[in-house]
Structures are given as structure tokens and as C-alpha cells.
């Protein structure tokens, strides 16, 4: 199996779906000739032509508006937002039209599109380039929110998102776009949307994370293992709809849980997970569910952005505090 970066794995998924289905169309600023801001779409315009890989002006609302029209006429558009922080200019189109059209038209006009957005801090980028606002989209009925953490999962989840009949916001953790390589099967594969994965079995405490926080969470689990602590690690992969079955089963098993994300602390995905665990497995918990997150502020400029992000040390410290209760 070839070893690919996440960027290469995403490019592979797009190439496969363009070849498999004539209805698939990519559009966005610089996705064609330049191959995308992070080169995820590199080489696709040469193979599939400018009618399938469409360069657009810098106009996020217009990009999503065109994608809506494409869906209504039977296509499967894959619009790219260069950075998630720029998607808010298209918020009206996504919230009021993409997320609602299937419901509003009683199923007459489904919106089978995948909106790809690089997100997150850690690459020394400018303001509006480092945000982690998955809660906005997860809070919007009608949208699914998928966030991969490895190259193999990125390829499999993006294929699944394109095949999904409903709109998917596909958040790509740019901090690990090229951080490591992983073997990716030559044969196409998909992973189910809405399912989490237990990536490391454990018995003392559960650590839950997704996206760019997964490598840091696994490092924290290694640190705890050196102290004799058996940490179970769960990769959510889909933030919405959330896999209640997997997260509650692990919480019942270990009795202690720490949730990790780089999004701001207040009203974030961790708060939703804690509420669900309180609802469903409260009497199995041995300690309050803890969270290690970003802070309630915009991501700072690059000199201090690592202080904003959860570190393996912060995650391990919170796990130790939870185990001590």
C-alpha cells in the first residue's frame, strides 16, 4: 500500500469520485489551475477539465450559491472554502438553503454537496485562518460535520461524504495535512459517517478527541501508560451526528472521561458530549467529565498559538486530576 499524507489521500478520494461519477463537480477559488490553496486538488483540472474542476472568483456566498443550483439540477458539487474562517460570508447560504432545502421542499430538492474547509491552528497562519468553529455547523439541523484525523480516514470519509445524500461540512485539519504519512489501500474504501472509532483500548479512563487533536491525545495516552494508566482513546470522526453508542459504552467501561478539542471551550462539542453522558450514563461515572480545549478567544497570532492549543501535557494533567477524584 502507498504511504500518503492527508493532502495526497484527499486528492486521491476526489480523483476517484470524479472518475466514478460524472455528476461530481469541484468548484472554488484556485481549485483548478493552482490546485487549491493547500494543493488538495492538484492535477485534477488537467485530468478532468475546467468544466468539472471550476475556478471561481473569491466569493464564498457565490460559490455556495452556485453549488445549490448544481444540486437542484442533479449534480454533486464539492465547493471548497480556502479557510473555514472565510465560510461565514456564505453562512446565510449554508444555514438557510443548503441545510434546509430538502426539508423545505419535502424532499424534492436534496442537497448532496460536500463543503470542504481547512480549519484549525498550528500552522503559523494569520487571523481568520486558524479557527475551529465546528460547533456552528454541528448546531445547524440538516448538516453533517465530518473531521478526519489520519490520511486513510480522510480518504475513506471523504468518499463516504460524497456518496451521502445530505450536505456534509468536511472539516480538514490543516495542522496535520502533511504532518505524517500512512498506508492507504489501493482499493477504494469508505467509512460510515456517524460512527466513532476506539483507536486504543483501555480500562482506567477514556480520552475522546478528533481531527488535529488526535495525535496529541495519543501522545498523552502514551505518557499515562508510562505511569501505569490504561487510557482508552476514541476518535469521534463525525461530530454531527454523534455516535452515542460508542462514547457511552466507553464511559460505562472506564467511568472517567476527558474530552479534547481545540475549539473554544464554551458551547463547544465537549459541552454536548458531557451533557449526553450525564443524560445516559451518569450513574456509571466515577468522576465529573473533564475537558481540555482552546480558550474563549480568537486563536492568537502564531507566536502564541501553541499556548492556545491543548498539549499532550495539558491532556495528561487533566486525566491525572480526573483519576484522582
Coil, strand or helix: which one is 289? coil
Task: Give the sheet arrangement for strand 205-209, strand by strand.
Answer: 197-200, 231-235, 205-209, 257-260, 290-292
With beta carbons less than 8 A apart as the criterion, state whether 63 and 77 touch.
no
Give the whole-angstrom CA distance, residue 13 versus residue 11: 5
Tell me which H or E stretch contains 188: none
Q: Rounded to an integer, what distance in angstroms lies between the CA atom of residue 13 and that of residue 154?
A: 8
Rounded to an integer, what distance in angstroms lies between the CA atom of residue 310 and that of residue 308?
7
**What are the beta bridge partners of residue 26?**
53, 78
SS3 of residue 66 by DSSP: helix
Phi then psi for residue 97, to 5 deg, are: -120, -60
Positive or negative, the CA dihedral 20, 97, 42, 120 is: negative
Report CA-CA distances (Å) from 313 to 216, 220, 223, 322: 9, 7, 8, 14
Chain centroid to Cα 272, Å, comes to 16
> What is the distance between the alpha carbons of residues 177 and 212, in angstroms, rounded to a whole number?
9
Helix, strand and coil content of the chain, in percent to the nearest 5, comes to 40, 15, 45
**Neighbour tally for 157: CB within 10 Å:** 26
Which H or E run includes 110? none
What nine digits make up the cell of 186?
489501493
Cell numbers found for residue 211 = 481531527
Answer yes or no: 129 catalytic: yes
Which one of 92, 97, 129, 139 is the catalytic residue?
A: 129
**Catalytic amino acids?**
129
Amino acid at each position: 500500500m502507498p504511504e500518503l499524507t492527508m493532502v495526497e489521500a484527499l486528492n486521491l478520494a476526489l480523483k476517484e469520485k470524479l472518475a466514478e461519477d460524472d455528476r461530481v463537480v469541484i468548484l472554488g477559488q484556485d481549485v483548478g489551475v493552482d490546485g487549491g490553496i493547500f494543493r488538495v486538488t492538484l492535477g485534477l483540472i488537467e485530468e478532468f477539465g475546467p468544466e468539472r474542476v471550476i475556478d471561481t472568483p473569491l466569493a464564498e456566498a457565490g460559490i455556495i450559491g452556485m453549488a445549490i443550483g448544481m444540486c437542484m439540477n442533479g449534480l454533486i458539487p464539492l465547493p471548497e472554502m480556502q479557510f473555514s474562517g472565510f465560510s461565514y460570508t456564505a453562512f446565510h447560504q449554508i444555514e438557510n438553503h443548503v441545510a434546509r432545502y430538502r426539508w423545505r421542499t419535502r424532499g424534492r430538492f436534496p442537497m448532496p454537496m460536500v463543503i470542504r474547509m481547512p480549519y484549525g491552528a498550528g500552522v503559523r497562519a494569520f487571523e481568520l485562518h486558524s479557527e475551529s468553529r465546528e460547533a456552528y455547523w454541528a448546531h445547524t439541523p440538516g448538516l453533517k460535520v465530518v473531521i478526519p484525523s489520519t490520511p486513510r480516514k480522510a480518504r475513506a470519509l471523504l468518499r463516504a461524504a460524497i456518496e451521502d445524500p445530505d450536505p456534509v461540512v468536511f472539516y480538514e485539519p490543516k495542522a496535520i495535512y502533511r504532518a505524517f504519512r500512512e498506508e492507504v489501500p489501493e482499493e477504494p474504501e469508505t467509512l460510515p459517517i456517524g460512527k466513532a472509532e476506539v483507536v486504543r483500548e483501555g480500562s482506567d479512563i477514556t480520552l475522546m478527541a478528533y481531527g488535529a487533536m488526535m495525535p496529541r491525545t495519543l501522545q498523552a495516552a502514551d505518557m499515562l501508560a508510562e505511569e501505569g494508566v490504561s487510557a482508552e482513546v476514541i476518535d469521534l470522526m463525525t461530530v454531527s451526528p454523534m455516535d452515542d453508542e460508542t462514547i457511552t459504552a466507553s464511559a460505562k467501561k472506564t467511568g472517567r472521561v476527558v474530552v479534547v478539542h481545540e475549539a473554544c471551550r464554551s458551547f463547544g462539542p465537549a459541552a454536548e458530549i458531557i451533557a449526553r453522558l450525564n443524560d445516559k450514563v451518569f450513574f456509571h461515572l466515577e468522576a465529573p467529565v473533564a475537558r481540555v480545549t482552546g480558550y474563549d478567544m480568537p486563536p492568537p497570532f502564531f507566536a502564541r498559538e501553541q499556548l492556545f492549543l491543548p498539549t499532550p501535557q495539558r491532556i495528561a494533567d487533566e486525566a491525572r486530576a480526573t483519576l484522582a477524584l
